[in-house]
């Protein structure tokens, strides 16, 4: 590995890229970074439900201890639960061993800042520099860190969620839910949270299993067929699926229809902005225009950022946003914490449905209709800058172009929709997102700019 951090921490196949030696060295690098500002940093560490977690957690813990960090083990828990504990219990940092939605042979290390947010890119680069320099000072024997365990993180986290929703209204509604935790870390929070809200819960894949035997961890339509069939069979108001580390929630309506993340995002955003009488909602430039249309209709404002939940979270704090998130089901509720949080998302959806007293499918049908097309095409990493420069020159002369946004890649607005062309930060590819009210126009936009990138690469 010549670069450690991707878009979501450090990830790799266990005992190939992601080894105990790497985890040990990462622990030392993280500890060295933290000790630049504090002699005895405190670090919370936790894991998702993967079978390689103990190996990597103990190695990373050893590295942290050897540098002089005090480490507190929070056990197996969702990523947002650890993030909340870091913020609320005043840890200097957190480390979560997880590969989120990746297959079971993968695992990873994600570092959490002292405020509970994911590290910014410059912080990751600093840790990366320490790791590769191998210039890590040894700590004297009497400065080695201490180790302890704490099992109160989940209760603390659930208490906060319950304080930020209308518990009585939800309980009185007695909503029937099919919950699919995907055998991941969500198993340790979501089932008990829904029961505390007096929901009638049908559990699916709610036993932790590091092999993800129930279904692949990514909550996409092809992996949620069982959930989509069970929801109408059970007469449930909705179904919900989590990813491996439970920071994202994807919904299924009462008819068994998959609800794409941009739709649930827009629905909850409309509800929150309406309740607040306005406010700012923050999201990446890749998000559907559906969000902006509903937020503006309620007197709110959408602020666009580069792609990445840590960027969204930091902009939310800066502009005092009321809500934010991404179209993949990762939503951020600032009154609770500044990170993606599936359990908080589920609780807020319960509140919304309890107050609206209408089916989820009906609420989704009310939202503006947009067609989104996503494509990708190969591009060597060393050609990405050249492609971006040439693409910018070409689109500047296009007659159909009404405006251009360069927040992240190039987003081109036309009379009939928009197209976003951006280089991947982790793979040798360009991603192309196109949107229009009509599928054919979205297809044409995506295909046109995919070919344009390919022509420049050649």
Are 411 and 341 in a shared domain? no
Quick one: 104 and 32 in the same domain? yes
Residue 278 reports pLDDT greater than 80: yes
- Report the CATH number that the domain containing residue 147 is assigned in CATH: 3.40.120.10
Cα–Cα distance measured from residue 24 to residue 39, given in angstroms and rounded to the nearest whole number: 20
Task: Tell which of 365, 395, 428 closes a domain.
Answer: 365
In this structure, is residue 3 part of a structural domain? no
Residue 97: closest CA among 138, 63, 65, 52:
52
| Segment 329-345, tens digit of pLDDT | 999 999 999 999 999 99
**Residue 4 belongs to a domain:** no
Is pLDDT of 315 > 90?
yes
Contact 313, 288 (CB under 8 A): no
Residues 38 and 131 in one domain: yes
Does residue 124 sit in the same domain as residue 162? no
Is 100 tagged catalytic?
yes
Instruction: Tell me the percentage of the chain whose pLDDT exceeds 70.
Output: 99
Query: Quick one: 207 and 319 in the same domain?
Result: yes
Whether 342 and 417 share a structural domain: no
- Residues 345, 242 share a domain: yes
Q: Is 447 part of any domain?
A: yes
> Quick check: is 197 in a domain?
yes
pLDDT, tens digit, 9 for 90 and up, residues 354-374: 999 999 999 999 999 999 999
Domain count, the chain: 3
Taking the C-alpha atoms of residue 243 and residue 239, their distance in angstroms, rounded to an integer, is 14
210 and 118 in one domain? no
Predicted pLDDT at 53: 97
1, 307, 422, 451 from 378: Cα distances, Å: 20, 19, 12, 11
Strand order across the 300-305 sheet: 300-305, 279-284, 323-325, 331-332
Digit-coded pLDDT (tens) for 109-143? 999 999 999 999 899 999 999 999 988 888 999 99
Tens digit of each residue's pLDDT (9 = 90 or more) over 221-239:
999 999 999 999 999 999 9
Residues 201 and 345 in one domain: yes
For residue 22, what is the enclosing H or E element?
helix 20-34
pLDDT score for 10: 87
Asked whether the predicted pLDDT for residue 2 surpasses 70, the reply is no
pLDDT for 1 equals 43
Which SS3 state, helix, strand or coil, does residue 147 take? strand
Among 151, 179, 208, give the residue marking a domain's end.
151
Q: Report the DSSP beta bridge partners of residue 305.
A: 284
Residues 260 and 209 in one domain: yes
**How many other C-beta atoms can be found within 10 angstroms of the C-beta atom of residue 346?**
27
Whether 387 is covered by a domain: the verdict is yes
Q: Are residues 163 and 295 in the same domain?
A: yes
Cβ atoms of 109 and 26 closer than 8 Å: yes
Distance set, CA 60 to CA 10, 68, 146, 232, 347 (Å): 13, 13, 14, 45, 33
Per the prediction, the chain carries an average pLDDT of 96
What is the per-residue pLDDT across 384-418, written as a single tens digit (0 to 9) for each?
999 999 999 998 888 788 999 999 999 999 998 99
Print the domain residue range for 82.
10-151
Q: What is the pLDDT of residue 399?
A: 78
Instruction: Say if 292 falls within a structural domain.
Output: yes
* Percentage of the chain lying above the pLDDT 90 cut: 91
330 plus 208 within the same structural domain: yes
Q: Which of 32, 59, 62, 100 is catalytic?
A: 100
- Kindly report the CATH number assigned to the domain that includes residue 436: 3.30.310.50
Question: By mean pLDDT, which of 130-134, 153-157, 255-259, 356-360 is the weakest?
Answer: 130-134
Q: Where are the alpha helices (DSSP H) in 68-181?
A: 79-88, 121-133, 153-163, 167-173
From 323, 338, 365, give the residue that closes a domain. Answer: 365
């Amino acid at each position: 590995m010549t670069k450690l951090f991707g878009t979501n921490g450090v990830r790799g196949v266990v005992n190939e890229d992601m080894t105990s030696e790497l985890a040990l060295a990462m622990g030392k690098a993280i500890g060295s970074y933290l000790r630049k500002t504090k002699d005895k940093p405190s670090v919370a560490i936790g894991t998702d439900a993967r079978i390689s977690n103990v190996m990597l957690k103990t190695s990373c813990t050893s590295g942290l201890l050897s540098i002089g960090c005090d480490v507190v083990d929070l056990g197996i828990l969702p990523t947002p639960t650890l993030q909340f504990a870091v913020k609320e219990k005043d840890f200097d940092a957190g480390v979560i061993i997880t590969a989120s939605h990746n297959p079971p042979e993968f695992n990873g290390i994600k570092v959490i800042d002292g405020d509970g947010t994911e590290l910014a890119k410059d912080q990751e680069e600093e840790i990366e520099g320490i790791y590769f320099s191998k210039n890590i000072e040894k700590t004297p024997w009497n400065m080695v860190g201490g180790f302890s365990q704490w099992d109160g993180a989940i209760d603390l986290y659930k208490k906060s969620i319950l304080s930020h929703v209308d518990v009585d209204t939800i309980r009185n509604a007695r909503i029937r839910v099919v919950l699919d935790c995907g055998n991941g870390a969500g198993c340790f929070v979501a089932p008990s949270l829904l029961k505390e809200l007096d929901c009638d819960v049908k559990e699916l894949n709610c036993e932790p299993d590091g092999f993800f035997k129930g279904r692949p961890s990514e909550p996409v339509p092809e992996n949620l067929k069982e959930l989509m069939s069970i929801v109408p069979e059970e007469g449930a108001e909705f179904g919900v699926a989590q990813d491996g580390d439970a920071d994202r929630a994807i919904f299924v309506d009462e008819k068994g229809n998959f609800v794409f993340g941009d739709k649930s995002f827009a629905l909850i955003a409309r509800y929150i902005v309406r309740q607040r009488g306005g406010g700012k909602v923050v999201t990446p430039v890749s998000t559907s225009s559906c969000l902006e249309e509903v937020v503006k209709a309620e007197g709110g404002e959408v602020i666009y950022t580069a792609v990445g939940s840590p960027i969204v979270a930091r902009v939310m704090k800066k502009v005092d946003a009321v809500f934010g998130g991404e179209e993949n089901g990762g939503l951020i509720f600032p009154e609770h914490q500044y990170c993606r949080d599936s359990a908080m998302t589920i609780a807020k959806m319960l509140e919304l449905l309890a107050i609206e007293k209408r089916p989820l499918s009906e609420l989704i049908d009310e939202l503006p209709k947009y067609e989104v097309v996503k494509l990708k095409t190969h591009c060597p990493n060393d050609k990405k800058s050249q492609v971006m420069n040439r693409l910018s020159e070409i689109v500047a002369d296009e007659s159909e172009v009404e405006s251009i946004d360069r927040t992240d890649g190039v987003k081109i607005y036309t009379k009939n929709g928009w197209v976003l062309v951006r280089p991947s930060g982790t793979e040798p590819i360009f991603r192309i997102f196109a949107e229009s009210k009509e599928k054919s126009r979205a297809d044409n936009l995506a295909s046109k700019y995919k070919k344009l990138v390919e022509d420049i690469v050649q």
